[in-house]
């Protein structure tokens, strides 16, 4: 591409088209630009356009396009072609700084970004003169240009704040310091002087203060990794001026905006950060300056207003004090009683006040309010910072601070008592203060776990919290009600049980409050109380104690879901789940009504699932209803099916992906309750469950396998009879699953159920194929998990079909296969089998091979007889071998059988463990003894001689123990 007018013209047209709202115009233009961007001069054409075009829109568009082009293409990736010609690279670097500095702000920003992207790759080695070029501009005296340089420098240097120390990085920083530190310091001083000269010129001040903010940011980046020699030598200059700026105020710079931080606030915030950095990392050198900063920052806090625009500054400033006051050698700065009192009075208390912004959030943005207040996403808020300061001060001054605050708490409560309607915010602040003072450690699970012993929490509860909870009008003073509920919730582990019991009915009535925060907190508090553990690991609050309130609890919870804003309130749904779980059979009388409401809810949310937690607890609640009711009376399962099947069918038909794993679990739970037949309604669904599309989604696999297992258990014969044509499809699922290292164990679950429950004649024609598939997988990818599952399967097969059948099918696939599997897989690996049921299956299977398989006695397999017996005794007596080969450490550790969190598992749809052998074998060691005895009588003399010649002594001793226990003697 030539750098000529024609090309400029045509590119301009294409650029213009990329702004067209019509995609049929826009897309081709974008495509075209992409197709030509590899050409020589393309970036230079863009630069020319952004400099010279008459049309501002085109200039900005060219700048953005240029920046994106740099972002995509500048980096040279190893083994990939260089996407920007060297000629263009040189030309860009030679011109861009000038161009950036002479452009209007919109374009300057884009070019500044482009410079920092290029700088990230090329600076310093391939762009050695960048810094000197920038630094010379400091002398221009034009702050438009200077700010451009500073902004670019900031984007180049800010990575020093998070990158790891390395020689390369530090060499770069050193180079930057050598060229940049002195001019920056000179500029800093000059700018401050100019601020004084222009103290009355608001426009000049604005520009100068943005320079100062940028300079302060650069200071932070350059000082982050370590304290540079230059800055140590010039600490006096910097710190004195920072200190001066912190204490400076200029009416002209105050803004009217309540929300957005002004230039003064931004600058002071950054200075607080700089002081905090020095205090934390360069304590020794910074010590002489620190007390001055403490005083300045504290005065700043005292004189700063409540507006939102100051929030960042205030929380930064408080955090600075909080981090300093816990250091032993600065203790003295705070320990004076007057100092402490004034910090408490003027810094902490005002910042704990409930502000109008909080009130707005409480009313209009309750979700956000709850997230901040309950879930701790309040990191940057003033209240949080004030709390941290309280905690910091309590490290050394717990007694005095508690005493000072007690005074404030009483006076604030006194104010409230004088006129609650007017002064309710005083009580809110008092409660907040008590909470922050009392809580030393906290978890979601238990609330406050360690409290300040100087605060009497119970007394406060009785005197000030209970009254709000008992107030008959739940809609009056909702903020105070929410405070009271939260108090119960977070101090639940500290309050005596009788107080909690007293609170329960009160909390239940607050579920009806109109305020979303209030009824949400009630639901949450109840849910938390119900999870508390008492002695003997039972729940602290028993179903009997709840009996008088059960009906109202359930009523109010469900009514709360109808309140505006709470239709999908996850806290309420979780409380419903927890109530069901706590109350157990006491909910049975209410279920007929409740199940209707739950299924109705399910139908509604399935139209557009948007609250995953709500939905999860909804399904949990459904499962609990089914389990609790059917436990008492299994025949009621049909009424649940009647209620649920229409919704389930709709979910399946509409393919509501999020809900399918849940639906399969609910269906499994229902089907497993049936005694031994399978209703036709289920059979009608069977073919649909084999659809590949369902199995392509990972989350469906575990619940679908479980569901198919339930089908096989309850209806193996029905499938063989009326759906025999579906057997290949079922085996196809098995084949699909064992092809995956992640899902092979699920394939075995299915196969084991098929072997266990399908009539043998229905699968006889597929048996050989099944084994060939397993052998192929074993040949290609022999992972530990696969081998463990494989061992369980072949032994189950042996138990079910007999040892001879097992040996014959192996040997029919390949001569001597049985011996090879014994020698290479069973004997060396059986020790790895885990789980009591799995071990039992293997023990019984191997016993059969040892004692019921003639070829083990009379062929070349005989040499494997004693090693196999030895392996079996090892399985009985030795610890499990849980070693994993080195090359497998990163293979599906997540997917070990039994670890099933890879899908939305429902806790209350849990499946009981199935033992295919069951009671027919009580003690497998006795079975081994008896079976050996039987074998020995069939061929007298042979068994004892095989044992005495090659079984090791220890194993022999164990074996003799089994024989004695079974009171048999080998002959």
766 binds another protein (CB under 8 A): yes
Q: With CA atoms as reference, report the closest residue to 205 among 261, 266, 243, 253.
A: 253
Beta carbon of residue 903, minimum distance to another protein (angstroms, whole number)? 8
820 binds another protein (CB under 8 A): yes
Beta carbon of residue 902, minimum distance to another protein (angstroms, whole number)? 6
**Residues 6 or more apart in contact with residue 403 via CB below 8 angstroms:** none
For another protein, which stretch binds (CB under 8 A), given 24-32, 119-127, 557-565, 685-693? 685-693
CA gap 454, 460 in Å, rounded: 12
Interface positions, 260-299, toward another protein (CB under 8 A): 277, 280-284
Number of other CB atoms surrounding residue 8 within 10 Å: 17
Beta carbon of residue 26, minimum distance to another protein (angstroms, whole number)? 34
Beta carbon of residue 727, minimum distance to another protein (angstroms, whole number)? 8
Beta carbon of residue 273, minimum distance to another protein (angstroms, whole number)? 9
Report the residue number, 446 or 800, with the smaller CB distance to another protein.
446
Interface positions, 688-707, toward another protein (CB under 8 A): 690, 692-693, 695-696, 698-699, 701
Report the residue number, 229 or 257, with the smaller CB distance to another protein.
229
Yes or no: say if 819 and 777 are a contact pair by the CB < 8 Å rule: no
Interface positions, 447-466, toward another protein (CB under 8 A): 449-450
For another protein, which stretch binds (CB under 8 A), given 160-168, 860-868, 933-941, 950-958? 160-168
Total residues at the site for another protein (CB under 8 A)? 85
Q: Where on the phi/psi map is residue 385: left (φ > 0), alpha (ψ -120 to 50), or beta? A: alpha
Report the residue number, 706 or 925, with the smaller CB distance to another protein.
706
607 binds another protein (CB under 8 A): no
Among 124, 400, 609, 732, binds another protein (CB under 8 A): 732
Among 733, 833, 843, 844, binds another protein (CB under 8 A): 733
**Residues 6 or more apart in contact with residue 398 via CB below 8 angstroms:** 452, 454
Report the residue number, 33 or 572, with the smaller CB distance to another protein.
572
Q: What is the 3-state secondary structure (H, E, C) of 46-74?
A: HHHHHHHCCCHHHHHHHHHHHHHHHHHHC
Q: What is the 3-state secondary structure (H, E, C) of 465-476?
A: HHHHHHCCCCCC
Q: What residues are paired with 533 via a beta bridge?
A: 539
Among 782, 832, 914, 942, binds another protein (CB under 8 A): 782
Interface positions, 211-270, toward another protein (CB under 8 A): 224-229, 232-233
CA gap 484, 344 in Å, rounded: 23
Beta carbon of residue 326, minimum distance to another protein (angstroms, whole number)? 9
Q: With CA atoms as reference, report the closest residue to 217 among 163, 269, 282, 141.
A: 269
Beta carbon of residue 163, minimum distance to another protein (angstroms, whole number)? 7
Report the residue number, 699 or 944, with the smaller CB distance to another protein.
699
Q: Is residue 652 helix, strand or coil?
A: helix
Interface positions, 98-157, toward another protein (CB under 8 A): none
Give the residue carrying structure tokens 């602040």: 429
Give the residue carrying structure tokens 């009824």: 519
Interface positions, 391-450, toward another protein (CB under 8 A): 441-446, 449-450
Report the residue number, 338 or 444, with the smaller CB distance to another protein.
444
Q: Is residue 449 helix, strand or coil?
A: strand
895 binds another protein (CB under 8 A): yes
**Residues, the chain, total?**
971
Report the residue number, 224 or 530, with the smaller CB distance to another protein.
224
CA gap 5, 37 in Å, rounded: 17
Among 78, 80, 86, 165, binds another protein (CB under 8 A): 165
Yes or no: say if 924 and 843 are a contact pair by the CB < 8 Å rule: yes
Yes or no: say if 706 and 913 are a contact pair by the CB < 8 Å rule: no
Report the residue number, 817 or 884, with the smaller CB distance to another protein.
817
Beta carbon of residue 391, minimum distance to another protein (angstroms, whole number)? 9
Report the residue number, 128 or 815, with the smaller CB distance to another protein.
815
Interface positions, 34-93, toward another protein (CB under 8 A): none
**Pair of tokens at residue 347:** 């810094």
Number of other CB atoms surrounding residue 729 within 10 Å: 15
Query: Which strand (E) or helix (H) includes residue 592?
Result: helix 591-606
Yes or no: say if 803 and 847 are a contact pair by the CB < 8 Å rule: no
Report the residue number, 627 or 736, with the smaller CB distance to another protein.
736
Report the residue number, 224 or 659, with the smaller CB distance to another protein.
224
Q: Is residue 193 helix, strand or coil?
A: helix
Number of other CB atoms surrounding residue 591 within 10 Å: 21
657 binds another protein (CB under 8 A): no
Among 13, 105, 163, 655, binds another protein (CB under 8 A): 163
Q: Output the CA torsion sign for 357, 359, 361, 365.
A: negative
For another protein, which stretch binds (CB under 8 A), given 540-548, 729-737, 915-923, 927-935? 729-737
**Phi/psi at 447 (5° precision):** 75, -150
Beta carbon of residue 704, minimum distance to another protein (angstroms, whole number)? 12
Decide the pairing of beta strands 447-451 and 439-443.
antiparallel
Cα distance from N-terminal residue to C-terminal residue, the chain: 99
CA gap 490, 524 in Å, rounded: 11
Report the residue number, 163 or 260, with the smaller CB distance to another protein.
163
Among 44, 177, 252, 723, binds another protein (CB under 8 A): 177
For another protein, which stretch binds (CB under 8 A), given 361-369, 420-428, 776-784, 841-849? 776-784
Beta carbon of residue 566, minimum distance to another protein (angstroms, whole number)? 21
Q: With CA atoms as reference, report the closest residue to 119 among 70, 171, 178.
A: 70
Beta carbon of residue 159, minimum distance to another protein (angstroms, whole number)? 8
Beta carbon of residue 299, minimum distance to another protein (angstroms, whole number)? 25
901 binds another protein (CB under 8 A): yes
Report the residue number, 486 or 840, with the smaller CB distance to another protein.
486
For another protein, which stretch binds (CB under 8 A), given 83-91, 516-524, 815-823, 880-888? 815-823
CA gap 929, 436 in Å, rounded: 68
Yes or no: say if 18 and 57 are a contact pair by the CB < 8 Å rule: no
CA gap 659, 662 in Å, rounded: 5
Binding-site string for another protein from residue 296 to residue 335, where x marks contact by CB under 8 A and - marks none: ---------------------------x---xxx------
734 binds another protein (CB under 8 A): yes
Q: Where on the phi/psi map is residue 750: left (φ > 0), alpha (ψ -120 to 50), or beta? A: alpha
821 binds another protein (CB under 8 A): yes
Yes or no: say if 874 and 846 are a contact pair by the CB < 8 Å rule: no
Interface positions, 921-940, toward another protein (CB under 8 A): none
Taking CA atoms, 751 is separated from 145, 738, 747, in Å, by 75, 10, 6
**Phi/psi at 143 (5° precision):** -75, -15
Beta carbon of residue 740, minimum distance to another protein (angstroms, whole number)? 5
Among 7, 735, 866, 930, binds another protein (CB under 8 A): 735
Among 174, 470, 533, 911, binds another protein (CB under 8 A): 174
Among 58, 92, 135, 173, binds another protein (CB under 8 A): 173
170 binds another protein (CB under 8 A): yes
Among 902, 921, 935, 956, binds another protein (CB under 8 A): 902
Beta carbon of residue 878, minimum distance to another protein (angstroms, whole number)? 20
CA gap 317, 593 in Å, rounded: 56
């Amino acid at each position: 591409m030539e750098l000529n007018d024609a090309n400029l013209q045509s590119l301009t047209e294409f650029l213009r088209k990329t702004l067209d709202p019509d995609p049929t115009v826009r897309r081709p233009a974008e495509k075209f630009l992409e197709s030509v961007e590899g050409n020589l001069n393309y970036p230079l054409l863009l630069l020319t356009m952004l400099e010279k075009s008459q049309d501002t829109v085109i200039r900005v568009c060219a700048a953005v396009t240029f920046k994106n082009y740099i972002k995509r293409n500048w980096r040279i990736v190893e083994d990939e072609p260089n996407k920007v010609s060297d000629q263009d690279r040189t030309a860009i670097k030679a011109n861009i700084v000038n161009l950036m500095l002479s452009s209007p702000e919109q374009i300057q920003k884009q070019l500044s970004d482009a410079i920092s992207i290029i700088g990230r790759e090329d600076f310093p080695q391939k762009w050695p003169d960048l810094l000197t070029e920038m630094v010379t501009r400091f002398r221009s005296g034009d702050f438009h240009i200077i700010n451009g340089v500073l902004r670019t420098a900031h984007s180049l240097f800010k990575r020093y704040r998070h990158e790891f120390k390395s020689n390369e990085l530090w060499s770069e920083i050193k180079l930057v310091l050598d060229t940049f530190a002195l001019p920056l310091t000179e500029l800093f001083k000059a700018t401050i002087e100019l601020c004084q000269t222009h103290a009355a010129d608001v426009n000049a001040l604005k520009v100068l203060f943005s320079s100062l903010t940028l300079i302060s940011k650069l200071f932070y980046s350059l000082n982050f990794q370590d304290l540079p020699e230059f800055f140590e030598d010039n600490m006096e200059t910097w710190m004195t001026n920072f200190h001066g700026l912190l204490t400076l105020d200029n009416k002209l710079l105050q803004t009217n905006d309540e929300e957005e931080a002004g230039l003064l606030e931004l600058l002071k915030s950054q200075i607080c950060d700089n002081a905090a950095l020095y205090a934390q990392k360069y304590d020794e050198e910074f010590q002489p300056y620190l007390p001055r900063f403490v005083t300045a920052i504290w005065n700043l806090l005292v004189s700063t207003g409540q507006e939102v625009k100051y929030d960042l500054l205030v929380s930064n400033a408080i955090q600075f004090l909080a981090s300093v006051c816990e250091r032993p050698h600065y203790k003295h700065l705070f320990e004076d009683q007057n100092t402490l009192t004034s910090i408490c009075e003027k810094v902490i208390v005002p910042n704990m006040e409930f502000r109008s912004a909080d009130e707005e959030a409480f009313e209009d943005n309750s979700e956000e309010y709850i997230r901040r207040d309950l879930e701790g996403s309040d990191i940057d808020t003033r209240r949080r910072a004030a709390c941290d300061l309280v905690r910091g001060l309590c490290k050394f001054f717990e007694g005095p601070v508690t005493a000072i605050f007690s005074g404030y708490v009483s006076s604030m409560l006194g104010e409230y008592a004088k006129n609650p309607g007017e002064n309710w915010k005083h009580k809110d602040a008092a409660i907040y203060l008590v909470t922050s003072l009392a809580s030393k450690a906290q978890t979601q699970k238990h609330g406050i776990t360690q409290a300040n012993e100087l605060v009497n929490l119970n007394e406060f509860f009785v005197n000030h919290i209970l009254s709000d909870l008992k107030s008959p009008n739940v809609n009056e003073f909702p903020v105070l009600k929410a405070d009271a509920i939260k108090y119960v919730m977070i101090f639940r582990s500290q309050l005596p049980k009788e107080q909690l019991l007293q609170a329960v009915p009160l909390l239940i009535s607050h579920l009806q409050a109109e305020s979303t925060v209030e009824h949400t907190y009630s639901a949450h508090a109840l849910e938390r109380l119900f999870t508390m553990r008492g002695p003997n690991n039972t729940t602290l609050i028993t179903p009997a104690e709840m009996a008088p309130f059960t009906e109202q609890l359930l009523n109010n919870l469900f009514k709360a879901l109808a309140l505006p804003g709470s239709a999908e309130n996850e806290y309420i749904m979780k409380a419903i789940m927890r109530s069901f779980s706590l109350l157990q059979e006491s909910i049975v009388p209410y279920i007929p009504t409740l199940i209707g409401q739950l299924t109705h809810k399910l139908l509604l949310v399935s139209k557009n699932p948007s609250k995953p937690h709500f939905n999860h607890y909804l399904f949990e609640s459904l499962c609990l209803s089914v389990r609790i009711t059917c436990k008492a009376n299994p025949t009621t399962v049909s009424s649940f099916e009647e209620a649920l099947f229409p919704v389930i069918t709709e979910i399946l038909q509409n393919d509501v992906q999020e809900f399918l794993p849940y639906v399969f679990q609910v269906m499994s739970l229902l089907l497993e309750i049936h005694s031994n037949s399978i209703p036709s309604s289920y059979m009608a669904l069977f073919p649909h469950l084999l659809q590949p599309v369902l199995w392509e989604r990972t989350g469906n696999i575990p619940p679908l396998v479980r569901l198919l297992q339930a089908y096989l258990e309850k209806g193996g014969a029905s499938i063989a009879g009326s759906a025999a044509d579906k057997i290949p499809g079922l085996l196809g699922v098995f084949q699909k699953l064992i092809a995956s290292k992640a899902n092979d164990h699920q394939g075995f679950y299915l196969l084991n159920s098929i072997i266990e429950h399908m009539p043998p004649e229905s699968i006889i024609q597929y048996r050989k194929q099944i084994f060939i598939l397993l052998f192929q997988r074993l040949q290609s990818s022999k992972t530990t998990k696969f081998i463990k599952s494989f061992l369980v399967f072949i032994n189950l097969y042996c138990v079910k079909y007999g040892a001879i059948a097992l040996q014959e099918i192996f040997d029919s696939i390949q001569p001597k296969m049985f011996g090879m599997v014994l020698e290479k897989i069973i004997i060396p690996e059986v020790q790895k089998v885990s789980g009591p049921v799995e071990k039992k299956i293997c023990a019984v299977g191997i016993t059969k091979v040892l004692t019921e398989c003639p070829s083990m006695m009379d062929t070349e397999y005989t040499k494997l007889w004693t090693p196999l017996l030895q392996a079996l005794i090892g399985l009985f007596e030795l610890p499990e071998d849980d070693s994993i080969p080195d090359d497998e450490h990163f293979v599906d550790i997540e997917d070990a059988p039994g670890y099933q969190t890879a899908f939305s598992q429902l806790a209350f749809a849990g499946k009981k463990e199935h033992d295919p052998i069951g009671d027919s074998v009580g003690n497998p060691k006795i079975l081994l003894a008896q079976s050996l005895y039987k074998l020995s009588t069939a061929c007298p003399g042979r068994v004892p001689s095989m044992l005495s010649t090659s079984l090791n002594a220890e194993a022999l001793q164990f074996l003799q123990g089994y024989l004695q226990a079974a009171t048999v003697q080998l002959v």
